[in-house]
Each structure stands twice: as C-alpha cells, then as structure tokens.
C-alpha cells in the first residue's frame, strides 16, 4: 500500500544502476518521496535515467543533487565512496539522513564518516538483494521484497533517524536487521563474497582449460557449470571493489574454505564415501532451510522459470 504522505520530501539518489534504479521504482510506487533527484557520474547514464523517467530532477553534479534532500542514498561501487563523500559531504543539510547500499560496511564507515558534517545522520546500509545485471535499465520495484536490509548505525546514531530509515526499507518491502559494520563484513564474506569469488574462480579455470574445449564447456553447461556463471557474470567493478574493501574477512573465510576443500579432496582421494555422503547430506539441508526461509524458490531447475525472479546477492 503506497504511503498517504511521503516519508521524505526530497530523496537524492547518487548512482542509478541496478540498486539506484530499483530504489527509484519502489520509491515512486510506494510514494516514499515528494521529489526524487537523480545523479550519476556519466552523462550517458544520466540521460538514460531521464529517458526511463526514474527521477523528477536530474543533476550531473552530485553536490547539487544532495542540496536540501532529507534522504541521500549512495548506490555506487564502494571504491568510489571516499571521493564522492568528499564532494557531497559539505552540501548535505543538517538533519538529513545519509545512507548507502554498498556491499561492505567497514570500508564505508572509514571512507565516508570523515566527510559527514555535524547534524547529518550517517547510517550505512546494505540491501541483501540483487541480480547479476547492472545499469539503470536493470532495476525493478520488487527487488527488495521479502529480502533483508542490514543497517550498521554507529554507536552515537540518533535512534529516531534509524527508525525512519527502518520505516523506509520496510516500505520498500524489506525486513530490517541492525548489526555493527565488522560483523556485517564477516557475515557477508561467507554468504556473498566467497560464493562470488569461488564462481569467478571456477569459471576462470574452465576458461583456461586446454583439455576441454570452450565450446564443450558451453554446450554441456547445464550439468552444473552454468549455476556458477550467473554469479560470475556480476559487475567486475563492483566485485573488484568488494574484494579490496573487505580484504581481511574474505581472506579469513578463504582460509577456512581452502582447509575444507583440502579435506574434501582427501576424502575423494582415499575413497571415503561416508565422509562425502555426510557432507552432501548436510549441505542439502542448508538449501532446504533457505527455501523454508523464503529466500529461494523451490521450483524445478533452480527456479529458472522465465516469470520467476531468483534472488541475487
Ligand atoms: P551498477 O548497476 O553498476 O551502477 C553503478 C552506479 O554507480 C552507476 O550510476 C555508475 O555511474 C556509478 N559509478 C560507477 N563508478 C563510479 C565512480 N567511480 N564514481 C561515481 N559513480 C560511479 O551498480 P549496482 O549493482 O547498482 O551497485 C551499487 C552499489 O550497491 C555497490 O556499492 C554494490 O556493492 C551495492 N550492491 C549491489 C548489489 C548487486 O547485486 N548488484 C546488491 C546489493 C548491494 P555511471 O553509469 O554514470 O558511470
């Protein structure tokens, strides 16, 4: 049900790719803002956003876009935060909420907090929703429906501002959790960052093989390989920045992963069928729990039905 009165008078969307444009759609559908101001780095993307009617106003200059906005949302690669925060920081009005959608949170606090003026409520956030598609055409209003949005408010955050941002994500269809940035980064390292790194790696390995031709890899991909290629098709800039911005937690989880992979390799070498069977039974139960939690659909072929959207990140 759309809000009778918008939650915010003016929302500035800085970055209008998959996440920014999905926000624009849902903000419009749910009447969450009196005015949507869109800003992005390149004139081409800004023009495309305008053609798609994603905002009410379009600004090439991010500093101008945030003026008088009572909610500012950064939806740009995390590697760009420091420069953009420096540019917009002095122009965000006191009392406004400054938040983001970035996939890492420790680096965001480190890069943005020094540029946040007194009186501005800086509350980092991360919607756990996405697809492998990018750009302003990729967005859709239901992206956040039934998905979690994680907020990582700093210890001195204003509870009222956190409540207002929680109301915003709830109106977007999300469920909201709060945690500290370090915990967020460790959780996301295992549920999101590692799966993407593993997918990039296996697809890269297949691409490098000489004994199996590229055309065979493509031709027989439905046997498993193609499930990795969806993750491995994700935006290279975004994932380069995620890897560099959450290095410690990712390296920790990769260490655990490598140990477990070595154990699995050993079970295969020594023909330990019981160990293999036990592991594969345990992992099957994990998928069942994900379906029961409503975070995946139990449709044949992994929900790859044209009319069913499978969740991304
Ligand atoms: P996207 O579709 O690739 O869009 C990126 C946006 O950021 C575009 O507006 C782009 O502008 C702008 N941008 C790129 N490089 C920039 C730079 N150096 N300086 C300023 N602006 C720049 O990305 P997205 O998928 O929406 O991701 C946005 C953020 O959400 C990222 O931090 C990502 O980690 C996070 N996130 C993504 C997902 C996902 O599944 N994709 C899920 C949750 C969170 P131009 O096109 O004008 O260059």
Closest CA to 97 of 68, 124, 120, 65: 120
Going by pLDDT thresholds of 50, 70 and 90, the confidence category of residue 308 is very low
Give the total number of structural domains in the chain: 2
Please tell me whether residues 251 and 147 are part of one structural domain.
Answer: no
Please tell me whether residues 47 and 133 are part of one structural domain.
Answer: yes
Whether 311 has a pLDDT exceeding 50, the answer reads no
Please tell me whether residues 150 and 64 are part of one structural domain.
Answer: yes
CATH of the domain at 138: 3.40.50.720
Please tell me whether residues 167 and 45 are part of one structural domain.
Answer: yes
Please tell me whether residues 243 and 137 are part of one structural domain.
Answer: no
CA of 288 to the centre of ligand 1 (A): 32
The response to whether residue 230 sits with its C-beta less than 6 Å from ligand 1 reads no
Query: What's the pLDDT score for residue 214?
Result: 83
Please tell me whether residues 20 and 73 are part of one structural domain.
Answer: yes
Domain residues for the domain of 198 are 183-292
Is position 2 within any domain? Answer: no
Ligand 1 pocket test: pick from 16, 22, 23, 41 the residue with the most ligand atoms within 8 Å of its Cβ: 41
Is position 1 within any domain? Answer: no
Query: What's the pLDDT score for residue 303?
Result: 57
Please tell me whether residues 212 and 78 are part of one structural domain.
Answer: no
Is position 163 within any domain? Answer: yes
Is position 301 within any domain? Answer: no
Query: What's the pLDDT score for residue 313?
Result: 52
pLDDT digits (tens, 9 = 90+) for 280-298: 999 999 999 999 999 888 8
CATH of the domain at 229: 1.10.3660.10
pLDDT digits (tens, 9 = 90+) for 240-264: 999 999 999 999 999 999 999 999 9
Q: Which residue would you say has higher pLDDT here, 233 or 296?
A: 233
pLDDT digits (tens, 9 = 90+) for 18-52: 999 999 999 999 999 999 999 999 999 999 999 99
Going by pLDDT thresholds of 50, 70 and 90, the confidence category of residue 224 is very high
CA of 15 to the centre of ligand 1 (A): 6
Whether 110 has a pLDDT exceeding 70, the answer reads yes
Ligand 1 pocket test: pick from 13, 14, 16, 17 the residue with the most ligand atoms within 8 Å of its Cβ: 17
CA of 13 to the centre of ligand 1 (A): 11
Is position 299 within any domain? Answer: no
CA of 17 to the centre of ligand 1 (A): 5
- pTM of the predicted structure, to 2 decimals: 0.94
Q: Are residues 114 and 138 in contact, defined by beta-carbon separation less than 8 angstroms?
A: no
Of 157, 179, 201, which closes a domain? 179
Query: What's the pLDDT score for residue 298?
Result: 82
């Amino acid at each position: 049900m759309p809000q009778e009165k918008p939650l915010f008078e003016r929302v500035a969307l800085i970055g209008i790719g998959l996440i920014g444009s999905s926000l624009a759609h849902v903000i419009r559908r749910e009447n969450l803002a009196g005015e949507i101001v869109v800003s992005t780095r390149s004139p081409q993307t800004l023009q495309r956003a305008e053609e798609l009617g994603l905002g009410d106003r379009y600004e090439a200059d991010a500093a101008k876009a945030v003026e008088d906005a009572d909610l500012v949302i950064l939806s740009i690669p995390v590697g760009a935060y420091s420069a953009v925060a420096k540019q917009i920081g002095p122009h965000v009005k006191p009392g406004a909420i400054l938040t983001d959608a970035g996939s890492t949170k420790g680096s965001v606090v480190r890069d943005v907090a020094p540029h946040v003026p007194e009186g501005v409520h800086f509350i980092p956030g991360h919607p756990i929703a996405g697809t492998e598609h990018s750009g302003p055409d990729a967005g859709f209003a239901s992206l956040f429906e039934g998905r979690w949005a994680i907020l990582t408010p700093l210890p001195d955050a204003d509870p009222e501002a956190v409540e207002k941002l929680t109301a915003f994500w709830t109106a977007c269809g999300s469920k909201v959790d709060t945690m500290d940035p370090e915990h967020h980064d460790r959780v996301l390292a295992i549920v999101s960052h590692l799966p993407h790194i593993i997918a990039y790696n296996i697809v890269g390995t297949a691409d490098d093989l000489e004994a199996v031709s590229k055309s065979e890899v493509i031709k027989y991909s439905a046997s498993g390989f193609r499930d990795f290629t969806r993750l491995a098709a994700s935006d290279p800039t975004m994932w380069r920045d995620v890897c560099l911005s959450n290095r410690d937690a990712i390296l920790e989880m990769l260490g655990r992963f490598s140990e477990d992979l070595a154990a699995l390799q050993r079970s295969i070498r020594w023909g330990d069928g019981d160990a293999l069977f036990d592991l594969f039974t345990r992992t099957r139960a994990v998928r069942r729990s994900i379906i029961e939690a409503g975070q995946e659909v139990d449709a044949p072929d992994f929900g790859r039905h044209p009319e069913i959207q499978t969740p991304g990140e």
